[in-house]
């Protein structure tokens, strides 16, 4: 048992070192936004997709590009516009002529056949085009004309959207939002960070990033994350936090019944468990704590919890509701408290 524990600790330490190496390389280009960078990297090591929301010019696209430059993975960028069609993303069958002069259909792969896909301003495309990503994000496959194509692993969709300019945009449907592991809200830079950004970008300084990690290593870390221990009482805390977002449910809080229209799907619980395991490894542990769960609660749940009209009328945002739920739900269940009494 001692050897197993030592081996697990060694793996956790190695993961933390490699994670930090990628983080430092990204830091050469991206100033600040530590929680956003952690969120993107957590999504990658879990094997999930990430939605970045923020006003233009905050470095969302630069962050994704820099991540691609630090990883030995194929990268493609899709600029979403109202006239973008599903075939522009997935690919289409083209008529080609072979050496014998016979014409035949040949599938021309679209830009989604990559490993890191930047879906820039994803909410500018029509719902028909947005829905083209549903199968790809969930299954890692593309189906065209009855043929199913499997994408190379690892595969990540990192999408950006602008929350303030709503003219000419199409809000993402709930089914697609649910397929993102995290929704990260990118805020403004601080005074010191903005000074550093101006220094780096207006003085002719050329910054180069190095390749730190390849796909094979990423898949190895994704497997390690799933091996992290999640105790039953900690898992029950995750379940109760998710059920607390369901209005009129047995564990619904007062704020839930007042302001929430729809609560989280089971994907919310899966996200909390996996993201918390990454946090545990970064803290040098091979078991998940209650604090690990609290730290990933907002990015895991804010896009899976839909507020009602009363919340909108009173100017209540989803983070306020979730923070109150987080405060009200105890770490130990009633049964556990009764057992220890």
Q: Which pLDDT belongs to residue 1?
A: 54
CA quadruple 174, 177, 183, 189: dihedral positive or negative? negative
Task: Say if residue 274 is exposed, middle or buried (CB neighbours under 10 Å; 0-12, 13-18, 19+).
Answer: buried
Q: Are strands 71-72 and 103-109 parallel, antiparallel or unpaired?
A: unpaired
**β-strand 156-161 against 116-120: which pairing, if any?**
parallel
pLDDT in tens, the chain (341 residues): 567 777 888 888 899 999 999 998 888 888 778 888 899 999 999 999 999 988 777 778 888 888 888 888 888 999 988 888 988 898 887 877 777 777 777 778 889 999 999 998 888 888 888 888 888 888 888 888 778 888 888 999 999 888 766 666 778 888 888 899 999 988 887 888 788 878 777 877 777 788 898 889 999 999 999 999 999 999 999 999 999 999 999 999 999 999 999 999 999 999 999 999 999 999 988 899 999 999 999 999 999 999 999 998 999 999 999 999 999 999 877 655 444 44
Residues 6+ apart with CB under 8 A from 288: 228, 229, 230, 231, 234, 273, 276, 277, 279, 280
The two structure tokens encoding residue 261: 């229209």
* Domains of the chain with bracketed CATH: 1-83+112-204+212-218 (3.40.50.300), 228-331 (1.10.8.80)
The whole-number pLDDT of residue 338 equals 44
CA distance 242 to 272: 9
Helix, strand, or coil (residue 284): coil
One DSSP character per residue, 175-244 reads HHHTTEEEEEE-----HHHHHHHHHHHSS---------EEHHHHHHHHHHHHHSB--HHHHHHHHHHHHT
Q: Residue 255: its pLDDT value, please?
A: 92
Q: Three-state DSSP class for 64?
A: helix
CA distance 53 to 323: 19
pTM listed for this prediction: 0.88
What's the residue count for the chain? 341
pLDDT at 208: 78
What pLDDT does residue 253 have? 92
Residues 6+ apart with CB under 8 A from 66: 25, 26, 28, 29, 30, 209
């Amino acid at each position: 048992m001692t050897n197993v524990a030592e081996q697990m600790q060694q793996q956790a330490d190695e993961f933390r070192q490699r994670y930090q190496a990628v983080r430092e390389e990204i830091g050469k280009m991206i100033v600040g936004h530590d929680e956003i960078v952690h969120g993107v990297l957590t999504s990658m090591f879990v094997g999930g997709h990430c939605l970045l929301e923020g006003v233009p010019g905050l470095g969302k696209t630069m962050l994704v590009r820099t991540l691609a430059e630090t990883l030995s993975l194929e990268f493609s960028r899709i600029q979403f516009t109202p006239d973008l069609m599903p075939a522009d993303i997935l690919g289409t069958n083209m008529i080609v002529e072979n050496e014998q002069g016979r014409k035949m259909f040949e599938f021309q792969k679209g830009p989604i056949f990559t490993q890191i896909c930047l879906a820039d301003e994803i909410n500018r495309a029509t719902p028909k085009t947005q829905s083209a990503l549903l199968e790809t994000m969930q299954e890692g496959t593309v189906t065209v004309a009855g043929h199913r194509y499997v994408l190379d692993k690892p595969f990540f969709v990192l999408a950006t959207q602008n929350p303030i300019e709503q003219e000419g945009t199409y809000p993402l449907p709930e089914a697609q939002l649910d397929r993102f592991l995290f929704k990260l809200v990118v805020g403004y830079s601080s005074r010191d960070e903005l000074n550093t950004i101006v220094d780096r970008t207006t003085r002719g300084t050329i910054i180069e990033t190095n390749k730190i990690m390849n796909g094979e290593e990423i898949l190895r870390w994704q497997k390690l994350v799933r091996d992290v221990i999640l105790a039953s009482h900690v898992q029950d805390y995750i379940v109760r936090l998710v059920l607390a977002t369901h209005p009129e449910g047995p564990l619904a809080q007062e704020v839930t019944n007042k302001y929430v229209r729809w609560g989280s799907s089971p994907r919310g619980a899966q996200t909390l468990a996996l993201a918390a395991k990454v946090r545990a490894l970064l803290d040098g542990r091979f078991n998940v704590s209650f604090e690990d769960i609290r730290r990933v609660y907002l990015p895991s749940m804010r896009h899976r919890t839909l507020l009602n009209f009363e919340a909108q009328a009173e100017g209540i945002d989803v983070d306020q509701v979730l923070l109150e739920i987080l405060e009200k739900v105890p770490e130990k269940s009633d049964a556990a408290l009764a057992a220890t009494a």
